[in-house]
Chains A and B, each alone.
Chain A
């Protein structure tokens, strides 16, 4: 395990890194206009819910 592996980043740290990356120039891409009227998954809903990963890793043993 490396030093980096021992620390798990918080969401705020992840957001800060991604945001800095975009500020540095990765943001110059065209974005398709979104006309979706369905049940869209919001950013806050993307990720692992509590307890899911424990059940997942137990099931795949």
Chain B
């Protein structure tokens, strides 16, 4: 057992931070920020869960930790810890754009987008289907109780559907 945040965790957190920076810029989001210490908690929880999962399944011969499982746990922890926030002030609090789900569910949107890329999903392959699934995930991740094991199954089906 190691009592320190290791180099790998720091590198994962920095990658999440950098992915957020790219996402913010390309998506033309305004005023959103990421909390670095929460990002560290996000990736540490993600990696700890994966390590526990691997340890638990070590002796029963399951295929372990493919990309869908890793993406499911990452999606779960981003949504659970919510590292992205919207520090609004009195002057822009009532601005209508910030009531759009693209902002109110910004962590859910970021989690889905990042994990879709991680899984090699190509939105261009079926724009309409991707758009529909994106909005469904945005809604479900925001409003419903989720757990990584169910997410894993959903992501496997999504990958199959998008590659068909």
For B9, the chain A residues whose CB sits under 8 A away are 22, 31
Residue pair B134, A36 in contact (C-beta under 8 Å): no
B64 touching A14, Cβ below 8 Å: no
Given contacts A53-B113, A60-B131, contact A31 B64 (CB under 8 A): no
Interface residues of A in 1-55 (CB under 8 A from B): 1-2, 4-5, 8-11, 14-15, 17-19, 21-22, 26-41, 43-49, 52-55
Give the Cβ gap from B61 to chain A, nearest Cβ, in Å.
12
Q: Which residues of B contact A (CB under 8 A)?
A: 1-6, 8-19, 21-27, 30-31, 33, 36-37, 39-40, 44, 47-48, 50-55, 58, 63-67, 69-70, 113-114, 116-118, 122-124, 127, 130-131, 134-135
Q: Could you say which residues of chain A place their CB within 8 Å of the CB of B27? A: 53, 57
Is the pair B5, A4 in contact by a Cβ cutoff of 8 Å? no
List residues of chain A with CB under 8 Å of any chain B CB. Answer: 1-2, 4-5, 8-11, 14-15, 17-19, 21-22, 26-41, 43-49, 52-61
The distance in angstroms between the C-alpha atoms of A24 and B40, with both chains bound, is: 13
A31 B4 Cβ-Cβ under 8 A: yes
A34 adjacent to B3 (CB under 8 Å): no
* Interchain nearest-CB distance for A3 vs B (Å): 12
Complex alpha-carbon distance, A42 and B25, angstroms: 24
> A31 → chain B, closest Cβ, in Å?
5
Contact of A11 among B6, B14, B33, B134 (CB under 8 A): B14
| Complex CA–CA separation, A22 to B114 (angstroms) | 24
Complex: how many Å from CA A10 to CA B5? 22
Q: Is the CB of B19 within 8 A of A5?
A: no
